[in-house]
C-alpha cells in the first residue's frame, strides 16, 4: 500500500499528469479507429457497387442488341409477308393494280431503323437499326420483279402495277 500524499506533492501531480495523458491518448485512438473504419467501409462499398454497375452495364447492352435483332426480324417478316401477298394477288389474271399498306413501328427497341429492298437474286429485305447497330436480313419469295428501294421505318405501301410488271415498296 502506498502512503498517503499531500495534495500539493510534486510526485502526485506527475502521476496524475501521466494518467491524464494516457487517458487522452486512448480516447484519440478510439476516435481515429472509428473514423478510419467508416472510411474503409464506405470505400469498399463504393468499389463493390461500381463493379456491379460495370458488370450489369455489359449485360444490359447485350440484351438490348438481342431485343433489337428480334424486333427487326419480326418487322422484316411482316413486310416480307405483305410483299408476297401483293405479289400473289398481282399475278392473278385480270388484276391491273394492287396496293397494300403495312403498318410498321417507326422505332424498334427505342431506336430508328432503315429498310433496304434488295431485288436479288435472292430477293432480301435488309433492316438496320441505328443504336445499337444491328442488321437483319429477311428473304422474300416473289414471282414478279421487285424494285430496289431504301426507306425509314414506319408505315409502308406496297404497289403492284401490271403495266410495269414490278412491285414497289415506298413509305
Q: Render 23-35 in DSSP notation, one character per residue.
A: HHHHHHHHHHHHH
Closest CA to 78 of 161, 130, 70, 63: 70
32-76 pLDDT, tens digit each: 677 788 889 999 999 999 988 887 777 777 788 899 999 999 999
Q: Give the pLDDT score at 1.
A: 59
Q: Which residue has the higher pLDDT, 106 or 131?
A: 106
85-99 pLDDT, tens digit each: 998 888 777 767 889
Strands (DSSP E) along the chain, which ranges? 97-102, 107-108, 111-118, 124-129, 135-139, 145-146, 149-152, 156-161, 166-170
pLDDT for residue 9 is more than 90: no
Q: What is the DSSP letter of 170?
A: E
Confidence of residue 101 (pLDDT cuts 50, 70, 90): very high
Closest CA to 100 of 166, 169, 148: 169
133-169 pLDDT, tens digit each: 999 999 999 888 888 999 998 899 999 988 888 889 8
pLDDT for residue 26 is more than 60: no
Amino acid at each position: 500500500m502506498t502512503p498517503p500524499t499531500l495534495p500539493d506533492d510534486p510526485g502526485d501531480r506527475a502521476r496524475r499528469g501521466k494518467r491524464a495523458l494516457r487517458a487522452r491518448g486512448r480516447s484519440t485512438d478510439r476516435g481515429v479507429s472509428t473514423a478510419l473504419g467508416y472510411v474503409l467501409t464506405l470505400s469498399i462499398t463504393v468499389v463493390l457497387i461500381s463493379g456491379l454497375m460495370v458488370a450489369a452495364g455489359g449485360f444490359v447492352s447485350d440484351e438490348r442488341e438481342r431485343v433489337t435483332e428480334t424486333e427487326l426480324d419480326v418487322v422484316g417478316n411482316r413486310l416480307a409477308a405483305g410483299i408476297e401477298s401483293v405479289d400473289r394477288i398481282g399475278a392473278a389474271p385480270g388484276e391491273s393494280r394492287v396496293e397494300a399498306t403495312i403498318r410498321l413501328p417507326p422505332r424498334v427497341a427505342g431506336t430508328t431503323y432503315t429498310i433496304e429492298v434488295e431485288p436479288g437474286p435472292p430477293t432480301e429485305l435488309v433492316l438496320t437499326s441505328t443504336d445499337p447497330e444491328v442488321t437483319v436480313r429477311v428473304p422474300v419469295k416473289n414471282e414478279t420483279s421487285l424494285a430496289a428501294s431504301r426507306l425509314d421505318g414506319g408505315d409502308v405501301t406496297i404497289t403492284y402495277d401490271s403495266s410495269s410488271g414490278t412491285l414497289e415498296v415506298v413509305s
